[in-house]
Each structure stands twice: as C-alpha cells, then as structure tokens.
Structure 1
Amino acid sequence: MKWFQFFSLGLLVTLTGCASNSADMDKQWLNPPMAVPLQANVQYEIQVARLSQLLQRTDLEDNVRAKMHFERGSYYNSLGLRDLAQLDFNQSLQLNPAQSVVFNQVGQYFTQIGDFDSAYEAFDSSLELDPANSYALRNRAIALYYGDRLPLAIEGMTTYYKENPTDPYRALWLYIISREVGPMEASITLEKRYQARNDDWGWILVALTLNNITEEEAFKAVLAGSRDNTVLAERLTEVYFYLAKRHQIEGQYAAAVSMYKLAIAQNVFDYAEHKYAFLELTKIFEQVRAEQLQKAKEEQAQKEAADSES
C-alpha cells in the first residue's frame, strides 16, 4: 500500500515511545513464534494455467465460461493475487450475474481496499440471490464495522452469531464490533460465552482476547495442536491477529502493529485475519494521526493563550 512506508516512518517516534514502556515485551518478541511462510501452491498454479488455456476456446457457453472465471479467480485469491482474482470475478458476473458466491468474493475485495459502499452493494446482491449465504452475512457485517456503520454491523453480526452460538469466531467478531459502543457489556457477554465453551480451538483465541490465558499459553496450544507447517501458519495468523486487536484496544499501538505484521507474514491469504490485518493497520495509522493532529492543535492553542497573556 502507498501509505505503508510513510506509516512505518511517520509513526516511529510515537510508537517507540509506547514500546519503551514495555521492556519485557521487547525481550519477549525478539524471536516470535513463526511458521515457514506458506509458499505458492503448485497445484493451484497448474489449475490457473489449465483454466487460462481453456478460456481461450471460442466454443464455450457463457455459463461454463463464467464458472471457469470464478474458479480461476478463486485460485488467484488463494495465491495472494487479489487484483487478478477481482478481474476474473467481474468477468464471471458479466457472463452470469446470478451468482451469490461471486458477489461475496467481490464484496470482500472492496472491503479490503476500503471501498465500503461498493462492498455493501456486492454483499446485498449476494444475499438477495441467496439469503442463506452466511459468509456474505458475516462479511457484510465486518464491512459495516470497518465502514463505521456500527448499529448495522452489530445487527448483522448478531444475526450471524445466532445461527451458531457455539462458534467461537462468531462470538469473537460480535464482541469486537459490539465493544465499540459498549466495551464493558461486550466483555461481560463474551466472558459468559467463554465459560459455556466447547472444545473448539477458536476458544483459545477468545481466552487470549479476554486475557484469561497468557500469550505463552496460547502459543503452547498452537504448537501442541499443529500437525504440520500449514496448520501452524494458519493458527499463528489467527493468534497474531486477535492478539494485535487486543493490544490495539488497549492503546498499545507499537505491539499491535508488530502483531498485525506477523499475522500478514504467514501468507495465509484465504484467511479473513490475513485480509483484514491490512485494514487494521490503516485504522491505527488514522487513529494515531488524528491524535497527533489533536495534540498539535492543543499545543498551538496553549501557545496562543500564553502569548496573549504576555
């Protein structure tokens, strides 16, 4: 992203000040737990090449061509080639606009780039075509959250949560959104849901968010439950994202930025936590910039008041 280099440099002084108050954290993250970043899946690349060849044929019916564009776009998505995926999804919809799953993918793309109005339109189209599309319901609620339309975001995520109250990820996202309007109530509610938890791995993430377990305990759980490097990368992506969110909520921006970068570094392109880590970094940038501007205004006002008194 264009702002990323400026972001890293412009906030260095501010974030260094935050980090200097936590020497223990600096020591802790000298060697953060990492998986080998996921590499491009050779089978996906082969499928992209095969579909590209098939799409050159002139005798394909529109519905078949639309399906091929969607399939190739899905492979591009999994390879981290977001813009190429979007091109294929758009072509698929031009050939066959009655595809709820494709509109959902398009909506996620617009959310990632911050074009929230287009994201809402895409998710609305997805749900009009298939009201039972839970992924579109969830992703629209998340887009509404990042677009600062909190009442609608809470309403949508509440509906999504009620479809499966035992799902820790639904409980976690409902908490993340709800705490924007009622932090204490959201924490109490999430704690109650955590106490009634099942054995799903995701409740570890809830416990980490609630500070019910230490970071060391969370990483031990990751290592104990990871069968291979892929699972390890996936779970570390989740842990780093929600740990970053906790630090961000607590105003520990330096730690949050580091955690979001570690979530991105695992290369788990299909995971929402990877996709939305970029948006969270943007939010921190905007929040810190706003705080710096407000501080500058206050200092200027104090200076002017002092000058007038003298």
Structure 2
Amino acid sequence: MKLACLALTMVLAGCSSPQQQWNQPPMAVPFQPTIQQQIQLARIDQLLKRNDLDNATLAQVFYERGLLRDSLGLRDLARLDFNQSLSLKPDQPDVFNILGVYFIQSAHFDAAYEAFDSTLELDVTHPFAQRNRGIALYYGGRYQLAYEDLNAHYQQGINDPYRAIWLYLVELEREPEKAQQKLRNWYDASDKQEWGWQIVRLYLNDVSERDFLNSIALESEDNDMLAERLTEAYFYLGKRYHHNKDFPAALMLYKLTLAGNVYEYVEHRFALLELNRLMTEVNNQPQPAAVTDSNEEA
C-alpha cells in the first residue's frame, strides 16, 4: 500500500486543480463483488425456494436480499425486493427509508417525502430518515423545510461532519452570505475527530485541494479506505465546483465519484442525480448569438 500511496502522490503533483483538466486524478481500484457476497446471495436464493416460511420471515429475507443487491449496485432488483418485503410486512421503517433514498435518486421527491414520513411515523427515532428527508427537500428546492430537518439532525450530533456539510449546502441556497461563517462556527464547535472534517476544512479554504487529496492518498490504510474517501472527496469537490458554475470540472468530479463503485455511500447514490441536474443547467444556459459574416451580402 505504501507504494500505491507513493504513486498516487506523484500523480497528484501533476494535477493540482480541475482547471488543469484532471488529466491523471488519483483513483482506487473499483469495488468488486466479493466471494462472500456471491455465496450469501446464492444462499438467500435457495432459502426463498422453501415453502414453509411465514410472511414475516419472507419479508425479512427479501429485505436482506435487497440490501445485498443494493451493495452490489443492482438497484432495480433491490427495489423489487424491498417492495416485495413491504407487501408482506407493511410496518418496516427501514424499508420505507431506503425506498425514499431510491426516490431521491430518481428525482421523485414527493414520493420520497412520503416514504420518509412513513419511516418517522413508524419510528420517530430512526437514525437516518430525518436527514434523508432533509436531503430530499434540498434536492426538491424546498430549502427552508430542508434546513429545519437538517438543522435538527445536526443538533443531535454536532461532532458528525456530514451533518454539518449537508446543512451548509442548504445554507448556500438559503442564506449564502452567512453560510461560510456558519460552517466555521460548526467546525470550531466540533471535536474534529472524524476524517470528514477534512472536507469541511477544504470548504473553509483551510487546506488546498492538492494537500487534501495528498492526505487521502497517504493516510488511506488500504484500497477500501482509499475508494471510500475518494468517493466522498470527489462528490463534495464536485458540489463546490457545481455551485460556482464550473460545469466541466463538476462533471468530471461527479464521474470520478462513481468510479470507485462504492454503491452504499450517499455520495455515490446522488452523483448520478447531480449529473442530471448539471446537464439540465447546462442545457438551460443562454446560447451565444450566432456571429454573422460582415462580408455576407444582405
């Protein structure tokens, strides 16, 4: 791994910013299905052939297969499993929650709100539903409601950098002139222990992009950690360039977010949604007026 980190560091030396077109961005080996995952999937398929399982057990088995398929990037098949599980046992907050995430990915925001509302009705203490509903509201352009959810979620764990990051992204839309100072306050109030606070430091311009990516390459203990951290790094870098209307850089960064196949990370989940939003913005940009030839006859 030391050699891999050294190689990545050498690559970074020649690629300091998206303005240089990210000719050789740092990369990890993409996640691949493990033998354990494939064996587990085969065992679940065999279990579902039995005819002596009650509905509650079947619902749990479909849910577990859905989670496994989701971790392998088989999201359409996973969604079928989750829906099947819910039809057998309708009172599953975790199933409503993950279906809500799928609705965000497909930009069906009203359905996402309903799914997260159902999650919270079944389990008001669910650890992710309020955050996910806030993210859905953010993507749906309902920034005040998104702020209410994400601020409440942040207050429940001020040492979690990702709670601060998503709240900051909402504030960039709601009160952009105050967002940077608020992020600084949240950073100062935290214990700064989790790695994700390095992303916050990047947003605060306390660390350069080059040093930020260098630290990922040097400090990642194995390929899995490298892939996971690069997935996060590229997504949030992409969000910053996207906000600044640097569409080519954002486009490349969102693609790099997808490159590691870290399917279970929210950053990977929403990168395709961001790409679609970006392309819509580009297509809606005013087109330059056609230049007429001054020598052309009237």
The TM-score with structure 2 as length reference comes to 0.88
Deviations, residues 18-56 of structure 1 (Å, cap 9, x unaligned): xxxxx9745462111000111112211211111111111
Residue 249 of structure 1 corresponds to 243
Residue 76 of structure 1 corresponds to 69
List alignment gaps of at least 5 residues for structure 2. Answer: 1-15, 293-298
Out of 290, 304, 307, the residue aligned to residue 284 of structure 2 is: 290
Pair 1:245–1:61, CA change in 2 (3 A):
same
Q: CA deviation at 1:178?
A: 1.6
Residue 212 of structure 2 corresponds to 218
Out of 46, 64, 87, the residue aligned to residue 80 of structure 2 is: 87
Is 1:157 equivalent to 2:150 in the alignment? yes
Residue 178 of structure 1 corresponds to 171
Residue 206 of structure 1 corresponds to 200
1:1-310 equivalence runs, <5 A: 25-27=18-20, 29-197=22-190, 198-292=192-286, 295=287
Q: CA deviation at 1:146?
A: 0.8
Tell me which amino acid in the other structure corresponds to 2:228.
Answer: E
2:19–2:249 contact (8 Å) kept in structure 1: no
1:208–1:214 contact (8 Å) kept in structure 2: yes
Residues of 2 paired with 1:291 and 1:284: CA distance?
11
Deviations, residues 241-298 of structure 1 (Å, cap 9, x unaligned): 0011111111111000000100111100000000111111111111122223xx46xx
1:41–1:79 contact (8 Å) kept in structure 2: no
Deviations, residues 152-207 of structure 1 (Å, cap 9, x unaligned): 11111111111101111100000001210111211110012223342210110111
Question: Identity, % of aligned pairs?
Answer: 48
Residue 12 of structure 2 corresponds to none
Pair 1:227–1:45, CA change in 2 (3 A):
same
Residues of 2 paired with 1:26 and 1:165: CA distance?
34
Q: CA deviation at 1:211?
A: 2.3
Tell me which amino acid in the other structure corresponds to 2:224.
Answer: T
> What SS does the corresponding residue of 1:102 show, helix, strand or coil?
helix
List alignment gaps of at least 5 residues for structure 1. Answer: 1-22, 304-310
Tell me which amino acid in the other structure corresponds to 2:282.
Answer: V
Aligned-residue RMSD, C-alpha: 2.0
Higher relative CO (Cα under 8 Å, sequence separation at least 6) belongs to 2
Q: CA deviation at 1:119?
A: 1.1
Residues of 2 paired with 1:241 and 1:104: CA distance?
22
- The total of aligned residue pairs comes to 277
Tell me which amino acid in the other structure corresponds to 2:180.
Answer: S
Pair 1:116–1:28, CA change in 2 (3 A):
closer
Tell me which amino acid in the other structure corresponds to 1:203.
Answer: W
Pair 1:107–1:37, CA change in 2 (3 A):
same
The TM-score with structure 1 as length reference comes to 0.85
